[in-house]
Amino acid sequence: MQLTLNFYGTDYTVDLPGLTQDNYVVARESIRADLTQPEGEVKNRDAICNAFMQLVRSSPAANPSDLWHHVVYRLYCELLPGLRQQNPSQSWVRASGDALELFLQRWYTPVLAPHGVSITALISRAQKRGMLTELGLNETVGDSKLDVALARLQVAGQPVAFGGVHVKASLAERVSDDIPCSRALQQAGHLSPLWTLDVKSFPPPNGDLVNRGELGTPAAPSEKRRYVEIHGDFDHCYTGNTRSVASGAVTPSGKRIVVLNLSQQPDQFALDVIAASQQRQH
């Protein structure tokens, strides 16, 4: 479908291949219904996560990054002020990060659990501190620098953590701040991937609204691509933006940009997490 957006009093259209009008309307009603509930029952982050889950499931041919950027974000900002009397841009900044972490937990749990792996969004500082303590990094890493925990499910006893995922909708969200935590995880023998929607578009009159992301290409890399391919600061970067350009077969660090197809599971992120879990059992 085509979505009409208004910038500076002028309407522009953006193409969203793979998204139908019916699925767009369902997502709109999902957000409206959730935000109509008391905030104590349905938090803003849950409204965002629920709508995104619904869209990714119902629109497998669409670019997930576009669904987040052009649909969920804009619907949320449009509907929120009339339902919860909150500033939409400020609320989005607070709630959307948690929402994407919850999405990873809910999307990948059915894929990973049969292989004895748990994936858990670390929403509170207490959760983050507890996981860093289990990983042996509580003295060296700030308690806001871990988003999602990975653990092996034991037949008896507590799950054993073996890594953490750094989650960013956009790489403009100061991904460099996650590098010290990621390096500490790697040095301790833990898995430390970056998972992103690589959201970035430019509005008219200087842009065309196409969500191309910020990773650049192997031939013309951005600094954010270099974090992975050159410096190896993360154990691969997995992107849900189908316009992101994947790494070549060989990189200087051995770490790669991997473009995911979320509709086909297990995707490469899930396969790599499962493999890492199995390796760390021995």
Residues 72 and 139 in one domain: no
Residues 232 and 126 in one domain: yes
Instruction: Beginning with the edge strand found earlier in the chain, give each strand of the sheet holding 148-152 in spatial order.
Output: 117-121, 148-152, 160-168, 194-196, 237-239, 257-259
Q: Does some domain include residue 225?
A: yes
CA 205-96-54 angle, to 5 degrees, is 95
Domain's final residue, options 69, 93, 117 = 93
Residues 117 and 28 in one domain: no
Q: How far is CA 176 from CA 36, 164, 172, in A?
A: 37, 16, 9
Q: Does some domain include residue 185?
A: yes
Given a cut of 80, is residue 142 above it in pLDDT? no
Residue 36 belongs to what domain range?
A: 2-93
Residues 33 and 125 in one domain: no
Q: Round to whole Å and give the CA distance between 94 and 84.
A: 15
Residues 70 and 177 in one domain: no
40-69 per-position pLDDT tens digit:
899 999 999 999 999 999 999 999 999 999
Q: What is the pLDDT of residue 12?
A: 86
Q: How far is CA 218 from CA 173, 222, 247, 260, 281, in A?
A: 22, 9, 6, 17, 34
Q: What is the pLDDT of residue 139?
A: 77
Residues 108 and 127 in one domain: yes
H or E element in which residue 164 lies: strand 160-168
Q: Does some domain include residue 262?
A: yes
Domain's final residue, options 93, 119, 135 = 93
Q: Does some domain include residue 268?
A: yes
> Please, which pLDDT band fits residue 8 given cuts at 50, 70 and 90?
confident
Domain's final residue, options 35, 59, 93 = 93
Q: Round to whole Å and give the CA distance between 180 and 98.
A: 21
Residues 271 and 158 in one domain: yes
Q: Does some domain include residue 99?
A: no
Interacting residues of 93 by C-beta distance below 8 A, sequence separation 6+:
none
Q: Round to whole Å and give the CA distance between 269 and 47.
A: 25
DSSP string, 56-91: HHH-TTS-HHHIIIIIIHHHHHHHHHHHH---HHHH
Q: What is the pLDDT of residue 282?
A: 55
Number of domains in the chain: 2
Residues 271 and 181 in one domain: yes
62-77 per-position pLDDT tens digit:
999 999 999 999 999 9
Interacting residues of 62 by C-beta distance below 8 A, sequence separation 6+:
16, 17, 18, 19, 55, 56
- Give the lowest-confidence range in 150-159, 163-172, 197-206: 150-159
Structure tokens at 256: 């790669």
> Please, which pLDDT band fits residue 11 given cuts at 50, 70 and 90?
confident
pTM as predicted: 0.95
Residues 37 and 69 in one domain: yes
Interacting residues of 227 by C-beta distance below 8 A, sequence separation 6+:
175, 176, 179, 233, 234, 237
205-225 per-position pLDDT tens digit:
889 999 999 999 999 999 999
> What value does the CA radius of gyration of the chain take, rounded to a whole number of Å?
19
Q: Does some domain include residue 98?
A: no
Residues 123 and 210 in one domain: yes
Q: What is the pLDDT of residue 277?
A: 95
Q: Does some domain include residue 214?
A: yes
Residues 150 and 264 in one domain: yes
Q: What's the gap between Cα 99 and its chain centre?
A: 9
Question: How high does pLDDT run on average in the chain?
Answer: 93
Q: Which residue has the higher pLDDT, 36 or 155?
A: 36
Residues 185 and 257 in one domain: yes
